Structure 1
Amino acid sequence: MTSRPARRSPSPSSSRPSVRQGVRLVSVDADNDGQRLDNFLMAQLRDVPRSIIYRIVRKGEVRINKGRARPDTRLRAGDQVRIPPVVRKEQKPEVRPGSRVQSVMEDAVVFENDELLVVNKPSGIAVHGGSGLSFGLIEVLRAARPATRFLELVHRLDRDTSGLVMIAKKRSALRFLQDELRQKRITKVYHTLVVGGWPAGVAQVDEPLLRYDMPNGERRVRVDAAGKASLTRFRVLQAYQGYTLMEASPVTGRTHQIRVHAAFAGHPIAGDDKYLDDAGQKAFRALGGQRLMLHARALTFRLPGSETPMTLEAPYDEAYQRVLRLLEARQLEQSE
């Protein structure tokens, strides 16, 4: 009798099984009125690649009120969107933020109504997961508020920058606030500690900024004539020995804008591991500095449906305050 070879069990590294969902008919509510079809589908099919979403639209598998549509078709409240079965890989178990980090983020909320959340984001927390991070601010808030149907970032902050971030709770609020940003009707004010004494004659830096990739894939920004027009206004708040506390108001919203414009002016931000040289970084660490000294201090904006602007302010965290106290103490000692 010939023995049958043992059946091999699948290798842990083999591809995960696929999941195929049936046809769905989704009714467009008032909050999605005016949204593009492609953006609507990306929200409905979060784990499906963008290329597949565009393919099923092109093939006519997605229908609006039983008719074919284009990716840029604008939806209207009451429309019925047919979403076809889509084969997708079974997702890995999601890494959920722990209760402690959820509590920290809830305590950081400085304003909330039915349309908007504003959070004083801690330094070191990314606004969203990705690039090796399991989760960021938006994922933490979604985990802490499972009953909230819609939470999306209105704008972003660098991971190491602290301060005010707006999160929309309705799509209509997201569209309104992002349009306000584009029209430059939202004022952002940052506080930053820069290295050296800021020159009295420099009230703004108006230099184009270009993003580029380092050999290791890290993204950086530099002043370059081929870049995008960028403008930052600066104002001295307090001079210390070897440092200056500044107010920085970005008129445009480029990546690393304040950091690069401050460095271009010859006064990089204290604790900046991208644009401050090693000697400056070492001196700041010797002082007791532990973080990038950039804080989104204030926001002035209108709520949807209101003509009256409101202003919110966020206090510094302990690490930021500690550096300022050390500088003040050193100043006081030298004046005695």
Structure 2
Amino acid sequence: MQSITLITKECVQEDGNDQRIDNFLFKRFRTVPKNHLYQLIRSGQVRVNGKRINASYRLQLGDMVRIPPVKIETKDAFNRTAITRANFFSFTTLYEDDAVLVIDKPSGMAVHGGSNISFGVIEQLRAQNPSWKFLELVHRLDRETSGVLLLAKKRNALVELHRQIREGLVEKHYLVLVKGKWQNAKQHVKLALDKYVTASGERRVAIASNAHPSSKPMSAHSIFKLDKSWGDFSLLDAEIKTGRTHQIRVHLAYIGFPILGDDKYGNFEVNKQLAKAEIGGRSKLTRMFLHAHSLQITHPVSGQRINLHSPLSSDLQKFIDGLDKL
């Protein structure tokens, strides 16, 4: 079965920074023959910032990639659903003005559509607000991560916010619950990361020294502070100085403190037990305990420093309440 994508434009985020355009396309269109994607590049149908590029072009943060219609082979069982009012999702808005939009992203929803995902946050918001001429993600959150998500409603706002990210002027904090008794009040982790794709097509990240031979190391810096602990569980505040794919998850797993509920890098036996057992008579944990709880930016228009905050989602709060009763 085939489906055809429409012409789209995608703004390059941190996880695509310095990535070759051909690899960028391979990741998004895994079922499309590579020679066809190369032909789209050579013919000028794929453009970056309105200009023709070659396959070795390395994308930069904020680049706008034009992706032409592409025929995608899909499984017969998969039917891409159209976005209609009947399946609109009601997002909680944390902040909004003419330049920026900040929402509280729920766990389980991807920030954008892709392989086996009909539509994500960005497609939903564009469909719900057809009068908006511009709307782009400023950064991304993993599908299972909940919390603060920042979007730009103007091109100049996007450019300015990306400048702040590049220059380390954006402060991002997450709440994360890990397996293990955390000892240090504050700990810096500076371990370079590599991205690669497994033989089955799954995107993975590893510490550079353990990475796939074809990947390229990226510097990564996380700061962890102990918030609270219960026996062999520890609640941490995680501040990321770099926004690499799966950064918090891989850093914590590598140093021996896997995130509870993490189905890629976590302790699978512990996850299985927590998904079954009632904790303190309150709640099971059936997803990854990672929540983007605060984001500080300088407003791209007013220049005012603003702090955006999302309370811990109800399912994670119930789990914490159960630990408090132990």
Structure 1 gap ranges (5+): 1-12, 20-37, 39-48, 63-68, 73-85, 331-336
CA deviation digits over 1:63-116, x for unaligned, max 9? xxxxxx9538xxxxxxxxxxxxx9988xxx9733353653422xx111100011
1:255 aligns with 2:241: no
1:280 aligns with 2:279: no
CA contact (8 A) 2:188 2:221 kept: yes
| Equivalent residue number for residue 200 of structure 2 | 216
1-structure distance, mates of 2:259, 2:229: 14
2-structure distance, mates of 1:232, 1:142: 33
5 Å matches for 1:54-133?
55-56=43-44, 71=52, 95-99=81-85, 101-105=87-91, 108-133=92-117
1:230 aligns with 2:220: yes
Shift of the 99–257 alpha-carbon distance from structure 1 to 2, 3 Å rule, reads same
CA contact (8 A) 2:185 2:226 kept: no
| Equivalent residue number for residue 318 of structure 1 | 314
CA contact (8 A) 1:210 1:227 kept: yes
Shift of residue 307, structure 1, vs aligned partner: 3.1
2-structure distance, mates of 1:317, 1:238: 17
| Equivalent residue number for residue 45 of structure 1 | none
1:301 aligns with 2:263: no
**Paired residue type of 1:96:** A
Provide the TM-score with structure 2 as the length reference: 0.73
Shift of residue 189, structure 1, vs aligned partner: 0.5
CA contact (8 A) 2:89 2:124 kept: no
2-structure distance, mates of 1:254, 1:54: 30
Given candidates 139, 142, 167, the residue that maps to 1:183 is 167
CA deviation digits over 1:286-335, x for unaligned, max 9? 241011100010010011133321101001221111110111111xxxxx
> Percent same amino acid among aligned pairs?
37
CA contact (8 A) 1:300 1:312 kept: yes
| Equivalent residue number for residue 11 of structure 2 | none
Structure 2 gap ranges (5+): 7-20, 22-36, 54-67, 72-78, 210-215
CA contact (8 A) 2:197 2:204 kept: yes
2-structure distance, mates of 1:50, 1:87: 14
CA contact (8 A) 2:296 2:308 kept: yes
SS across alignment from 2:307: strand
1-structure distance, mates of 2:229, 2:69: 60
Query: Number of residue pairs matched?
Result: 263
**Paired residue type of 1:95:** T
How much is the aligned-residue C-alpha RMSD, in angstroms? Answer: 3.1
Shift of the 283–241 alpha-carbon distance from structure 1 to 2, 3 Å rule, reads farther
SS across alignment from 1:248: strand
Shift of residue 15, structure 1, vs aligned partner: 9.7
1-structure distance, mates of 2:70, 2:188: 50
| Equivalent residue number for residue 65 of structure 1 | none
Shift of the 155–242 alpha-carbon distance from structure 1 to 2, 3 Å rule, reads same
Shift of the 57–201 alpha-carbon distance from structure 1 to 2, 3 Å rule, reads closer
SS across alignment from 2:265: coil
Given candidates 145, 149, 158, the residue that maps to 2:129 is 145
| Equivalent residue number for residue 167 of structure 1 | 151
CA contact (8 A) 1:291 1:319 kept: no
Shift of the 15–122 alpha-carbon distance from structure 1 to 2, 3 Å rule, reads closer
Given candidates 260, 263, 267, the residue that maps to 1:270 is 260
Shift of residue 242, structure 1, vs aligned partner: 2.0
2-structure distance, mates of 1:209, 1:14: 35
SS across alignment from 2:112: coil
CA contact (8 A) 2:186 2:226 kept: no
2-structure distance, mates of 1:183, 1:210: 22
